[in-house]
A and B are shown apart, each in its own frame.
Chain A
Amino acid sequence: MWQIEPVPQWERDKKWYEKKRPNELAAVLHNLKRYFAQLNASPNPKSFLAGYMHPEPHGVVALDQRGGGGNLQETRLYVYPHEERKVLYIITIGNKDEQASNIQFCTDFVESFDKNG
Chain B
Amino acid sequence: MNTEREKKTHSPLTGRKYDSVDNFLAGESVSHDVRDLVSKLDNETMIVQNLIQMRRMAGLTQEQLAVKIGKTQGAVSKLESSSDREITLDELQAYSQATCQEIMLYIGKPMNHVDSVKFHAFGIREHLLSLAKMAHVDGDLEQSIQAFFGEAFFNILTILGKCQNEMPNSNDVQVRMKSIGHPIKQQKLAKFAETVPA
A interface residue numbers (CB < 8 A to B): 1, 3-12, 14, 16, 18, 20, 22-23, 25-27, 29-30, 32-34, 36-38, 40-43, 47-53, 66-68, 87, 89-90, 92, 94-95, 97-98, 101-102, 105, 108-109, 112
Contacts and interface: CB of A to CB of B under 8 A. Distances in A.
A98 to B, nearest CB: 6
Interface in B34-66: 34, 37-38, 40-42, 44-45, 48-49, 52-53, 55-56, 61-63
A14 B30 contact: yes
Interface stretch (B17-25, B118-126, B153-161, B187-195): B17-25
B130 to A, nearest CB: 32
Interface residues of B, number: 51
A22 B49 CA distance: 23
Given A49-B77, A51-B77, A97-B2, A6 B31 contact: no
A43 B61 contact: yes
A47 B62 CA distance: 7
Contact of B41 (A53, A68, A87, A102): A68
B77 A33 contact: no
B11 interface: yes
B34 A4 contact: no
B17 A52 contact: no
A25 B8 CA distance: 18
A101 to B, nearest CB: 7
Interface stretch (B78-86, B103-111, B138-146, B164-172): B78-86
Interface of B: 1-2, 4-6, 8-22, 24-25, 28, 30-31, 33-34, 37-38, 40-42, 44-45, 48-49, 52-53, 55-56, 61-63, 73-74, 77-78, 80-83
A27 B40 CA distance: 10
A-B CB proximity, top 3 nearest: A26-B37, A41-B56, A50-B81
A7 B18 CA distance: 13
Contact of A50 (B5, B15, B80): B80
B77 A50 contact: yes
Contact of B13 (A5, A18, A30, A42): A5
B18 A4 contact: yes
B17 A48 contact: no
Given A18-B34, A32-B21, A34-B45, A51 B81 contact: yes
A26 B41 contact: yes
Contacts of B74: 49
A67 B56 contact: no
A17 B132 CA distance: 59
Contacts of B40: 26
Contacts of B12: 8
**Which one of A11, A48, A87 has the highest number of Cβ atoms from chain B below 10 Å of its Cβ?**
A48
